[in-house]
Chains A and B, each alone.
Chain A
Amino acid sequence: MAFFLAQRLLYLVPVLIAVSLLTFSISSLLPGDLAMTILADQATPENLAALRRDMGLDQPLWQRYFTWLGHIMQGDFGRSFRTGQTVLQALAERLPVSIELMLLAQLGALSIGVPLAIVCAARSGGPFDRFMTGTAFAMLSVPTFLSAILLIYLFAVELRWLPATGYVPFAEDPLGNLRFMVLPAMTLALAEWPGIMRILRSDMIATLQEDFISLAKAKGLTPARILFVHALKPSSLTLVTITGINIGRLIGGALIVETIFALPGIGRLLVGAILTRDLIILQGVVLLVAAGFVIVNFIVDLLYAVLDPRIRHGHA
């Protein structure tokens, strides 16, 4: 296991370097000139030249990349030229909101998707299964911005059960915090559960045809015990992968959902940074988020090993 861990950790290094390179080059290739953006109506040739020199923008791209990387190695991610906040300050303020949103969304999606998948797989081809597969397909094609507005209209404007927009930190008011989080998390969960359900359902149908299930049935175990104890664990390998990759999708979804529900998370931070060409914030945040994503998937890799001993021992 220690060897496995060390090997996986080694893989992380080139991945993170690639991420930093991509982050840096993509944001540097964005149209528009940073110096010009900052100076706007003060953009005389002399001012532009001076600012480019100050910010190191006159150096070649590769040199700027290494300077940037060097600062990051020392823990200095830089400071926004607009707000004066450092990347780490901005991230520390925003990250808890997005993480909570993603966890709740993932939890919601799993608690809808997993039971439905099990029920469908148990009677695959039956009317309920056919109905749910159809529904899941329909839900997959509903964009989040639409379901968000529909949920707001129903639960906030018409029924007045939940607030339409806003946020309170969990530490300040735990119940209030959850009230604000329900609709955005539900919006994201509504987009995620169909994928979870479809994958788990087909994996379970396959598992249920394996010999050891027939054996369990022959032993006279109850259907519930077979489904939850014997079939679920071996069927959930793809599900775990999907859940890890979904974190990436959820970050993407958070950009939209945080904007609509006015949640102060990293999605909003990124959108703002892109609109105002706040490259220092943009690069720093994207790098850290991407690193987080890579690490989550690294943990997912480890989970495989827990779920399936063959991977642990390198036979897979």
Chain B
Amino acid sequence: MIAATRSSAFAPIFLVAAFALSGSPASAQKAGGTITVGLELDIPGFDPLKVGVYDTAALTASSAIFDTLTTLDANGKVQPRLALSWEPSEDFKTWTFKLRPGVKFHDGTPFNAAAYKANFDRQKDPANKCRCAFYIAGTKSVDAPDELTLVYNLNDPAVNFPALVSFASSNNAVHSPTAWKAKGDDYNRNPVGTGPYVMKSWTAGDRMTLEKNPDYWDKSKVYLDRIVLKPLPDAQSRFASLQSGEVDLIWEDEYSADNIQRAQKDSKLTVHTYTGSGAGVTAFNTKVPPLDDVRVRQALVMALDRKKMSQALTNGLAKPASNPYGDGSWVKCKDDGALPYDVEKAKALIKDYGKPVEFKKLFTATPRGRAAGQVEQQLWKQIGANMEMEQVDQATFPARGFTRQFQVIGWRIIDLADPDVQMYANFHTGSPANLAQYSNPELDGLLQKARTTADTDKRIDLYCQITRLINKEAIWYWSFQNTYYAISTAKIKGLPKMYSGVIDVSRTWKE
């Protein structure tokens, strides 16, 4: 479905009218009221220099406070927001955006190309050592030739670039340069954007209150007067708060399968589900024994009964994954080359290898990490492989990956509108995120070709070749697809698809 509509984004002319976004009949939408949202985590703040990247909780707030250049509609098609139209250069390495005139930040500062460029330059500046800089490493520079023209100069071609700046991540959210200069260290907790809601108050650990922006450029599509965001870290009491009516909508994930399944049976509640692209994945460090041997890696992958794993960990809610793209991606492969679940074959491969197979896998130091580890441990024991779990806290986990201090590590390919960014970063020779440290000129060639080809069908074919190669070499494997959940009372309407797992309540309404 998404494949068909998205292909139009690759048409040579990228002019999109500002009015193209037509919603469902206006009569259904009711203005006014407050939505209270229960999120999992405390939001640390919004200044990219301080917090680096936004997590799911921060993204719900940032989608209301900030605008992005573009947005994705229900069909996954790129639509204008702060940018009215866009056009690539012949080689897809330069993208020119025409900006919406007359937009102002909440503090009155005019939004223009210079303000956008200031946001980008601040993150890119090596002196600021922003963790966020990693994710804009592919952009050489941003130019502001005039008030309303913005030019992205990319290092490498990106045929689907406007779709990648469509969600309010720490890189894409546009902050008021006046505000961060004036507030310094305090800006982090006093964010100023151009978005449909303005931050009114924020008590750390308790609640953040956002009020409707009366001067919003698209205010007819914003219905609620107020958004209240509360961190409710405990899954059981979060769900109880929804049942007892203190909150209208909560974040949830498939590890709270009990709650999701109970809500599905409750007529007063609505379960919102979105299966995105990407997957929960695992990388083998192919530079260390026994994982430097392809037979061992293949055996380990073949030993995994994903259906059983899903049953054990998520009551069967999690969808098994056989490639890095998933059902939510426009990349669909007739043959993704997934290794079959085959215990006998796996045992034979281990036997053929001849040496004992013992290794450590890194998991997060959470109950979920432990549960996932125990299930894999059992499945691998059946084929004679001994995995020792090493649990590392979430804060140090990524660093272990990027410094290659692991034998096997759990990771995630997140839901993005285009597979290129992550596939290239994860599998191209020498990339910092090439966790497997695998190098293959054939794979490099395919990745390069896939990012420079504009034709969707040809790209799909290339990405299918890529996954066949990765599956055959078993350098990474995919456990479950990315499925995102939110549960709300039945009164909440208009929640858009949770692209990249973002719960964006800024255009919902209450019946």
Contact = CB atoms under 8 A, between A and B. Distances in A.
Interface of A: 31-33, 36-43, 47, 50-51, 79, 81-85, 90, 93-94, 148-149, 152-153, 156-157, 160, 163-167, 169, 259-265, 268-269, 271-272, 275-277
Most buried by A among B38, B134, B230, B233: B233
B361 to A, nearest CB: 17
A164 B396 contact: no
Contacts of A152: 236-237, 240
A33 B241 contact: no
14 contacts: A31-B396, A32-B395, A37-B396, A40-B398, A41-B433, A83-B188, A157-B243, A165-B38, A167-B207, A260-B236, A262-B231, A264-B204, A277-B393, A277-B396
The 4 closest A-B pairs by CB, nearest first: A264-B205, A32-B396, A264-B206, A36-B399
Contacts of B243: 156-157, 164
Given A43-B402, A269-B205, A275-B394, A165 B240 contact: yes
Contact of B244 (A31, A39, A163): A163
Given A41-B131, A82-B51, A277-B396, A165 B45 contact: no
A102 B247 CA distance: 26
B417 interface: no
B246 interface: yes
B244 A156 contact: yes
Contacts of A90: 204
B395 A165 contact: no
Contact of B395 (A43, A164, A276): A276
A122 B485 CA distance: 57
Given A82-B44, A160-B244, A43 B399 contact: yes
B134 A42 contact: yes
A36 B241 contact: no
A166 B241 CA distance: 9
Contacts of A42: 129-131, 133-134
B186 interface: yes
B230 A262 contact: yes
Contacts of A32: 392-393, 395-396, 399
B232 A165 contact: yes
Nearest to A159: B244
B132 to A, nearest CB: 9
Given A41-B131, A94-B205, A165 B238 contact: yes
B396 A33 contact: yes
Contacts of B403: 36, 43
Contacts of A36: 396, 399, 403
A264 B44 CA distance: 13
Contacts of B392: 31-32
A94 B240 contact: no
A33 B399 contact: yes
B201 to A, nearest CB: 11
A272 B130 CA distance: 21
Given A94-B204, A165-B230, A47 B399 contact: no
Given A82-B51, A148-B237, 16 more contacts: A31-B396, A39-B399, A42-B131, A83-B188, A84-B186, A85-B204, A149-B237, A156-B240, A166-B206, A166-B230, A169-B203, A262-B230, A262-B237, A264-B203, A264-B204, A275-B394
B50 interface: yes
Nearest to A40: B398
A26 to B, nearest CB: 15
Interface of A is mostly: helix
B237 A83 contact: no
B6 interface: no
A79 B204 contact: no
B222 to A, nearest CB: 25
A271 to B, nearest CB: 8
A79 B243 CA distance: 38
Contacts of B131: 38-42
A34 to B, nearest CB: 9
B376 interface: no
A272 B206 CA distance: 13
Contacts of B420: none
A160 B243 CA distance: 10
Contacts of A157: 240, 243-244
Given A152-B240, A275-B393, A268 B42 contact: yes
B218 interface: no
B362 to A, nearest CB: 13
A164 B237 contact: yes
A272 B232 CA distance: 13
Given A42-B129, A83-B188, A164-B246, A37 B206 contact: no
